[in-house]
Amino acid sequence: MTDFSDTRAQASARPLPLAGVRVLDVSQVMAGPYACMLLADLGADVIKIEPPDGGDQTRGSMGFKMKGPDSMGFLNMNRNKRSVTLDLKTDSGREVLYRLAETADILVENYRPGVMKRLGIDYETLSKINPKLVYCSISGFGQSGPWATRPGFDLMAQAMSGVMSVTGYPGGAPVKAGVPVADIGCALFAPTACCPPTSVPRRRGRASTSMLRCSTPRWRSRCGTPASTGARAASPSRWARPTA
């Protein structure tokens, strides 16, 4: 029988890819927390910043609870993180965040564009405190454009990107995918925007991604005609499959 004990010991002794990287998770619900969960899984030291009076709203609203007050969904998406409660609407809360930003490598936020600026914790402000900070913004419709300041949700991104045109039954109405593919897809793109290859110096500056932008390419391989021609899909296409 092969003895894997040495291999396991060597694997456990190896540092994870993002060991030594500090991330400030200033996000709630799914896309932002999921992205930061991936960074934590890769070894980053993730500090989750939560508002007072209950913290992240998914603590009590995403799935069932096993033991304690927190939902299973919250526990899944916030594993391997540390957490601190800060009221970012107060001077004292912002001052603590400024001190955390001094030693951070990455900050991830998913508020509507403009909110972080009103709070005084936008990229322009924090980059003066830490010029090397990578500031990643997740939103519904991007950081610029006519719809930038609108709130965005997974269902909206699925509908507007065309994802819903390939779910449901042919001839029927479009149907939402069984899982939040826009939220999760956006969360998968965000770490790529934050983390440069380890072979080059760590970059600095601002990165952004949106649920709509990340959802649009996901369905083109199955239904490229509307995406290429602009034709409107009135009902689920012939590739449609019953949703879970």
Return contacts of 51-59, CB within 8 angstroms, 24+ apart. 51/85, 51/86, 51/87, 51/88, 52/85, 52/86, 52/87, 55/83, 55/85, 56/28, 56/29, 57/28, 57/29, 58/28, 58/29, 58/30, 58/33
DSSP per position, 135-166: EEEEESS-SSSTTTTS---HHHHHHHHTGGGG
> Taking a C-beta distance cutoff of 8 angstroms, is the pair 18, 202 a contact?
no
Residues acting as catalytic residues: 183
Phi then psi for residue 116, to 5 deg, are -65, -35
Closest to 189 measured CA to CA, from 34, 26, 19: 34
Query: Counting Cβ atoms within 10 Å, is residue 243 exposed (0-12), middle (13-18) or buried (19+)?
Result: middle
Return contacts of 95-99, CB within 8 angstroms, 24+ apart. 97/24, 97/26, 97/49, 97/121, 98/126, 98/129
